[in-house]
């Protein structure tokens, strides 16, 4: 269980609709929770439910729709049994693409006769239209404040050319600021006019915005099933932007917003709501974790009340479906007739978009309780008997994850296979078709571009830099991390350890140590023959012994200053294993000894990362070596959709660290570092 939440006992009830058959729409209920999973017999929803004829009584409509769904005796029985087993249950409506017409039904109105609220407004039944896709999405983020990019499009020819009322931009901005401006957990940034697709892309390309909030007119072509957004040209006139252009732009981003909020302005026509309702599933299909859209036009008051409550609740607990329910409840309390209009499209089973709070804690598995674990780890750090082993997932703020880089490359270089998010395989394809060193140079160039793009404008240096190390040095580590007391590398540097091992190519660990007045020595593993002649401090000074003031930063898989040292493709990793297994002296004796005689602290890995697997096969290479490990702490992140058996993980690690005491920390690296810093500072007060 990778993320703790305030709602751990909530079950999931998936209601899946399939393509229409002669007997109606097949429907399957699946209830899952801590006890396992239960699948109920298939039932059918009558095709007569369409077209839907709304009445003036929303409560009656909701009960009528639920009655239609449960008219099948089997489905009625399944609903009653699921309700009895799990009063608190996520309701995930999964409508298959072949039954997309069912999205036109007002599912958010669903209500039971004995209930005083819509199911989509009750705290016990977080509600969403669930759209699972295969793309990984990362994990809940801990960043605060939640950064919201607001784009309000008001072309200057709306009325004259399109017969649409102009948008009152000032009033819309004032409403959002009034609703959210005083909340320190949310940062509103308004994109200046004109709102062109190109300017939207420019604002989003650095990946720093968590939310894209769009307010505009729209149109919808039912025959083509195509939505249009009324954005702007550079001159301020209307630019009719088709949905595929918006979707394509977001799909190309290395880091997409975690949430897109589509709001029709008060003066909008019904076609705008149709456009946004049609756009939502398409955005989810390219990897946006959650989309909030309107299935009808709402008043400005409703829009501001809903969005204000929604964002505040989202910051509090991070569960997007629960936040939508809570915001909808606020509308009902205020007597708003359009409370059922907001729709949540979501690809997350847990609904956990953000961490609960900035100091959210991960879950610790293993033979020790948390207090004993932290006490033991801190004691090893105090004795300089702890070795951090740092993975690429610590880079999240400044450099895209490897999966994101892989998808960019796969598209750019026409990678023909389905595993487009596995960097080692995409890089192998590029090396085969364009030369062994091509993906190495491409990786360094991509990393530099992405890093520079994510810098605040005032920190972006002018000129060209040869390496990422040079660029980081020019920007200044203190400038990069001035606003982040939990900067991962900064916290690790403050531990005063003599040795840091990293599988990353960047100089971040070295820069953090230098910023704290230390004189680190940066070394690489000479894993192939081309690296044999490189300068090494262990050859220049055979008696060199790293200290907290002169620590060693050892790059196991190469660094950005020696291109030939980079381990990137599948062949690279296999060659690396062969070379290290045959010639263990390619890794200095000090490194072997430090690993064998210290507590290992892995952070920044997924269980299936190549780097993590190769470390286990390469560094923990022989049975003699394995028996020497005593204490191992592993911080692991698990993808949202992963069905990971924690006991199996424990057994898997035990195969490598046979007699060691293994503790697995489920949670993000940010959570781990925040807790580590808290414990370290408490010890040193």
pLDDT of 666 reads: 75
Residue 266 pLDDT grade (very low, low, confident, very high; cuts 50, 70, 90)? very low
Which residue is it, tokens 């390469």? Answer: 618
Residue 18 pLDDT grade (very low, low, confident, very high; cuts 50, 70, 90)? very high
CA gap 499, 510 in Å, rounded? 11
pLDDT of 642 reads: 44
CB 230 within 8 A of CB 218: yes
In the chain, the N- to C-terminal Cα span, in Å, equals 33
* Range 335-371 burial, b when 16+ CB lie within 10 A, else e: ebebbbbbbbbbbbbbbbbbbbebebbbbbbbebeee
CA gap 468, 88 in Å, rounded? 49
* Angle formed at CA 174 by CA 173 and CA 177, multiple of 5 degrees: 85
CB 303 within 8 A of CB 297: no
CA gap 412, 434 in Å, rounded? 13
CB 242 within 8 A of CB 274: no
**Which whole-number Å values give the CA distances from 93 to 62, 109, 130, 424, in the listed order?**
15, 13, 5, 36
What are the tens digits of pLDDT across the range 208-222?
A: 788 999 998 888 777
pLDDT of 421 reads: 87
Other beta carbons within 10 Å of 590 = 17
Q: Determine the average pLDDT of the residues in 191-205.
A: 92
Nearest to 606 by CA among 567, 649, 656: 649
Residue 358 pLDDT grade (very low, low, confident, very high; cuts 50, 70, 90)? very low
Q: Determine the average pLDDT of the residues in 53-79.
A: 93
267: pLDDT strictly greater than 50: no
* Angle formed at CA 75 by CA 69 and CA 79, multiple of 5 degrees: 95
CB 239 within 8 A of CB 287: no
- Cite the residue boundaries of each domain of the chain with CATH code 3.40.50.720: 146-346
Architecture of domain 146-346: 3-Layer(aba) Sandwich (3.40)
**Which whole-number Å values give the CA distances from 638 to 6, 14, 35, 664, in the listed order?**
19, 22, 20, 12
- The answer to whether the peptide bond before residue 51 is cis (omega within 30 degrees of 0) is yes
CB 632 within 8 A of CB 664: no
pLDDT of 561 reads: 96
Sign of CA dihedral 257, 262, 265, 268: positive
What are the tens digits of pLDDT across the range 463-520?
A: 889 999 999 999 999 988 876 778 899 999 999 999 999 999 999 999 999 999 999 9
CB 430 within 8 A of CB 438: yes
pLDDT of 661 reads: 67
Do β-strands 218-221 and 226-232 pair in parallel, antiparallel, or remain unpaired? Answer: antiparallel
Token code pair at residue 522: 């940066």
Nearest to 505 by CA among 551, 450, 550, 562: 562
CA gap 564, 505 in Å, rounded? 12
Instruction: Return the beta strands (E) in 347-476 as ranges.
Output: 363-366, 386-390
Q: Determine the average pLDDT of the residues in 402-423.
A: 90
Q: What is the dihedral of CA 311, 312, 314, 317, to 10 degrees?
A: 180
CA gap 178, 308 in Å, rounded? 9
Q: Determine the average pLDDT of the residues in 127-141.
A: 68
* Angle formed at CA 596 by CA 593 and CA 598, multiple of 5 degrees: 100
CA gap 332, 60 in Å, rounded? 15
- The answer to whether the peptide bond before residue 145 is cis (omega within 30 degrees of 0) is yes
């Amino acid at each position: 269980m990778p993320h703790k939440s305030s709602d751990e006992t909530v079950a999931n009830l998936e209601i899946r609709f399939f393509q229409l058959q002669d007997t109606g729409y097949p429907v399957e209920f699946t209830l899952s929770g801590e006890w396992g999973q239960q699948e109920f017999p298939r039932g059918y929803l009558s095709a007569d439910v369409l077209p839907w004829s709304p009445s003036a009584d929303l409560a009656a409509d909701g009960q009528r729709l639920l009655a239609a769904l449960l008219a099948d005796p089997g489905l009625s029985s399944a609903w009653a049994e699921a309700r009895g087993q799990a009063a608190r249950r996520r309701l995930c409506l999964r409508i298959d693409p072949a039954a997309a017409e069912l999205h036109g039904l007002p599912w958010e109105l669903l209500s039971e006769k004995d209930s005083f609220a819509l199911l989509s407004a009750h705290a016990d039944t977080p509600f969403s239209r669930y759209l699972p896709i295969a793309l990984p999405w990362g994990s809940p983020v801990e960043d605060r404040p939640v950064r919201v990019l607001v784009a309000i499009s008001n072309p200057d020819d709306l009325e004259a050319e399109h017969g649409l009322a102009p948008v009152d931009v000032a009033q819309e901005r004032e409403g959002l600021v009034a609703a959210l401006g005083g909340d320190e957990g949310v940062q509103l940034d308004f994109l200046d006019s004109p709102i062109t697709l190109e300017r939207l892309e420019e604002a989003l390309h650095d990946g720093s915005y968590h939310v894209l909030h769009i307010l505009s007119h729209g149109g919808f072509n039912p025959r083509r099933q195509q939505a249009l957004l009324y954005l702007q040209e550079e001159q301020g006139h209307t630019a009719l932007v088709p949905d595929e252009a918006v979707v394509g732009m977001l799909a190309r981003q290395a880091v997409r917003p975690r949430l897109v909020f589509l709001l029709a302005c008060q003066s909008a026509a019904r076609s705008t709501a149709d456009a946004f309702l049609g756009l939502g599933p398409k955005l989810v299909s390219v990897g946006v974790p959650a989309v909030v859209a309107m299935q009808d036009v709402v008043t400005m008051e409703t829009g501001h009340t809903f969005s204000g409550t929604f964002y505040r609740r989202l910051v509090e607990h991070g569960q997007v479906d629960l936040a939508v329910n809570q915001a909808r409840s606020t509308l009902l309390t205020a007597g708003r007739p359009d409370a059922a209009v907001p729709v949540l499209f979501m690809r997350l089973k847990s609904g956990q978009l953000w961490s609960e709070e900035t100091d959210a804690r991960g879950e610790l598995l293993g033979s020790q309780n948390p207090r004993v674990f932290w006490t033991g780890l801190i004691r090893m750090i105090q004795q300089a008997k702890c070795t951090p082993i740092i993975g690429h997932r610590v880079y999240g703020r400044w450099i895209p994850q490897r999966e994101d880089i892989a998808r960019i490359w796969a598209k750019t270089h026409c990678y023909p296979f389905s595993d487009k998010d596995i960097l080692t395989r995409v890089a192998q394809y590029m090396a085969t078709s364009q030369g062994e060193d091509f993906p190495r140079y491409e990786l360094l160039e991509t990393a530099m571009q992405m890093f520079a793009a994510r810098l605040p404008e005032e920190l972006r240096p002018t000129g060209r830099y040869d390496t990422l190390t040079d660029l980081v040095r020019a920007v200044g580590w203190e400038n990069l991390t001035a606003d982040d007391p939990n900067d991962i590398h900064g916290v690790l540097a403050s531990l005063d350890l003599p040795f840091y091992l990293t599988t990353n190519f960047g100089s971040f660990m070295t820069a953090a140590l230098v910023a704290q007045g230390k004189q680190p020595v940066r070394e690489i593993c000479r894993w192939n023959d081309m690296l044999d002649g490189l300068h090494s401090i262990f050859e220049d000074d055979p008696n060199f012994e790293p200290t907290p003031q002169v620590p060693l930063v050892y790059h196991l898989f190469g660094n950005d200053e020696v291109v030939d040292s980079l381990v990137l493709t599948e062949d690279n990793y296999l060659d690396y294993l062969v070379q290290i297994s045959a010639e263990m002296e390619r890794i200095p004796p000090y490194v072997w000894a430090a690993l064998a005689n210290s507590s290992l602290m892995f952070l920044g890995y997924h269980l299936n990362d190549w780097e993590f697997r190769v470390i286990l096969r390469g560094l923990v290479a022989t049975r003699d070596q394995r028996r020497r490990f005593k204490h191992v702490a592993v911080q692991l992140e698990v993808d949202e959709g992963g069905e990971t058996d924690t006991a199996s993980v424990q057994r898997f690690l035990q195969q490598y660290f046979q007699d060691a005491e293994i503790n697995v920390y489920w949670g993000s690296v940010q959570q781990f570092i925040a807790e580590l810093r808290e414990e370290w500072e408490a010890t040193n007060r």
